[in-house]
């Protein structure tokens, strides 16, 4: 549990990543989640933090991509994941590590290139027909002309 965190291979990280345990910071506090009176006495909430600017396992392009993709979630250059879903501190630690790994995996994926396409002939025909139908409905709502 206290060892290195493995990020599985995925787009942008074909070999996966290994985050050294020394770069992860865990804090524990009382949880507001399930657990009855147990939550009043135990520190089961886990906050797992990682400073992306000081991360040694990232290459410079990866660091730039992660920092830009996770910018809304960052406090400075530190990303924090909190878990209080479970009653057990151990399970919350596992959950936080899994969520951080997933977050980094998604942030490191390269952006998908959009391929320009043309609407099909049928889709253009359906669009025009729907516009004509809509126009007819609105035309029928008008006050009748007195010719």
Q: Could you give the domains of the chain?
A: 5-108 (3.30.160.20)
The pTM score is: 0.69
Residue 43's CB is within 10 A of a number of other CB atoms, namely 13
pLDDT in tens, 30-89: 777 566 666 566 777 889 999 988 888 888 988 898 899 989 988 888 999 988 888 788
Residue with tokens 């994926």: 109
Among 11, 7, 30, 12, CA closest to 79? 7
For the CA atoms of 93, 64, 70, 30, the dihedral, rounded to the nearest 10 degrees, stands at: 30
Q: Which of 14-18, 37-41, 67-71, 107-111 has the lowest mean pLDDT?
A: 37-41
Residue with tokens 């020394």: 22
């Amino acid at each position: 549990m206290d060892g290195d965190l493995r990020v599985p291979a995925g787009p942008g990280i074909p070999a996966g990543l290994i985050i050294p345990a020394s770069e992860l910071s865990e804090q524990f506090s009382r949880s507001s989640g399930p657990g009855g009176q147990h939550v009043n006495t135990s520190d089961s909430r886990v906050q797992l933090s990682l400073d992306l600017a000081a991360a040694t396992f990232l290459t410079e392009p990866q660091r730039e991509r992660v920092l830009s993709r996770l910018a809304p979630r960052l406090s400075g250059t530190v990303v924090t994941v909190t878990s209080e879903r479970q009653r057990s501190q151990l399970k919350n630690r596992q959950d936080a590590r899994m969520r951080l790994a997933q977050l980094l995996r998604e942030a490191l994926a390269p952006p998908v290139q959009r391929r320009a396409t043309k609407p099909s002939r049928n889709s253009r025909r359906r669009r025009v027909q729907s516009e004509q139908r809509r126009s007819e409905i609105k035309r029928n709502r008008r006050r009748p002309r007195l010719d």
